[in-house]
Amino acid sequence: MSSGQLRTLPVEYLWDGLVLKDDIFNYTGAVLLLPKGETITRAKLEKLMGFYGDNKNIMVYEDTYLEIMSDEHVPLEIRQKVTENQVGYTRLHKDIGTLFSSPDYEYWLNGEKMEPLIQQVAGKLEDFDPITILSCINFPRPMDEELQRHSLNVAFLNGMQAEWLNLPKEEVNTLVLAGLLHDIGKTMIPEEILNAPRRLTEDEMKIIRMHPVYSDELLQGKFDDNVRLAARHHHEKLDGMGYPDGIAEDDIGMYARITAISDIYDAMVSARSYKGARLPLDVFDMLYEEEFGRLDRSLVMSFLKNMREKYTNKQVVMSNGRRGRILFIPLNDADHPIIRQDDEIRQTDDEWYCREIISIF
Ligand SMILES: [Fe+2]
């Protein structure tokens, strides 16, 4: 039965041979183009649409929308773009990129210019399911957008962590700001070093490792001092093996500890693995094991507990192309969740694993 709202879809997302489970309409929703049960050919549809103007969109019911958008006929990149646009993520990272590329720091590195960005990030955290925001975060990005996307991602992740810790609104906002600006010192580093598509030399590594110091210098006296300290200390480790100061334990403040987790999560999830895009679930174990003794344990546990909760019950596409649902994510074996597929319940393994988490909303 047809139900729910009509949603807009570009006609190029449909494919030849798709059998319609529901009616599809023209871009205004007023004219029935093809009835349920018909088999689509794009040519047939485009011809029909020609009668109703140049708009290349159609309207379909919610269920059909979800079905089409989660089908592998629609490339992951396209789905990603749609989600990023709908969340407003694209706009936000472009705005950040524009600000960061301006050499006039006095003009934009101030409360007046940063406040709308903080409000927008905080607003998205209220409006969207964290999984939808995480699906924007968990995606490969072009090198020239790395800094703006990473800054936005760390802002979102800082905001999520702050909310999960029940911090007051004001602190949530300060942590979002710390996320946006923690790597701002990277704008002082020559691009050919920052975006070098090769292994860096020892000297170049030294230059890169100066970025928290530059962030500190740029942020002096401009915002809440916690923002500056989070930026300076986000690469410090509790065991004293971090940089730039090599401080340890209590010398690393809470804002820096939270920002460090967001920073590492984003770096881990954006790195490619042999299977292609890395799923967030694969990263949970790395965060749990590899950073033992280096990141704040209780903050990591809060992060993982909440992440596991958010991903539980989400729909996934399995390696055999069929859909399932995450029933349970083991704490110390998160990349082998328990999945329900039709009537079967079993744990994933190397042959049967989650290929994708469906996050279309
Ligand atoms: Fe950094």
CA of 234 to the centre of ligand 1 (A): 7
**Model pTM?**
0.87
Q: Are residues 179 and 36 in the same domain?
A: no
**C-alpha angle 219/224/227, rounded to 5°?**
60
Q: Are residues 301 and 342 in the same domain?
A: no
Q: Are residues 220 and 273 in the same domain?
A: yes
Does any domain span residue 287? yes
Q: 287 lies in which domain range?
A: 76-311
Instruction: Specify the pLDDT at position 3.
Output: 59
Comparing CA positions, the residue from 343, 337, 332, 348 lying closest to residue 300 is: 332
Does any domain span residue 1? no
Q: Are residues 83 and 54 in the same domain?
A: no
Amino acid at 55: N
Does any domain span residue 236? yes
Q: What strand order describes the sheet that includes 6-10?
A: 6-10, 57-61, 24-25, 32-34
Q: Are residues 123 and 253 in the same domain?
A: yes
Could you tell me the CATH number of the domain that includes residue 296? 1.10.3210.10
Backbone angles phi, psi at 331, to 5 degrees: -60, -50
Domain count of the fold of the chain: 3
Instruction: Specify the pLDDT at position 195.
Output: 84
Angle, nearest 10°, between helix axes 297-311 and 130-137? 110
Q: Are residues 333 and 277 in the same domain?
A: no
| DSSP assignments along 8-57, one per residue | EEEGGG--TTPBPSS-EE-TTS-SEEE-TTPBP-HHHHHHHHHTT-S--E
Block means of pLDDT (10 residues each) for the chain, 361 residues, are 75 85 90 89 78 79 82 77 88 95 93 96 95 87 89 98 97 98 96 87 95 98 97 98 97 98 92 62 87 93 95 88 90 90 91 81 55
CA of 119 to the centre of ligand 1 (A): 23
Q: Are residues 173 and 306 in the same domain?
A: yes
CA of 273 to the centre of ligand 1 (A): 22
CA of 212 to the centre of ligand 1 (A): 6
Does any domain span residue 350? yes
Instruction: Specify the pLDDT at position 53.
Output: 67
Instruction: Specify the pLDDT at position 173.
Output: 98
How many angstroms separate the CA atoms of 176 and 155, rounded? 4
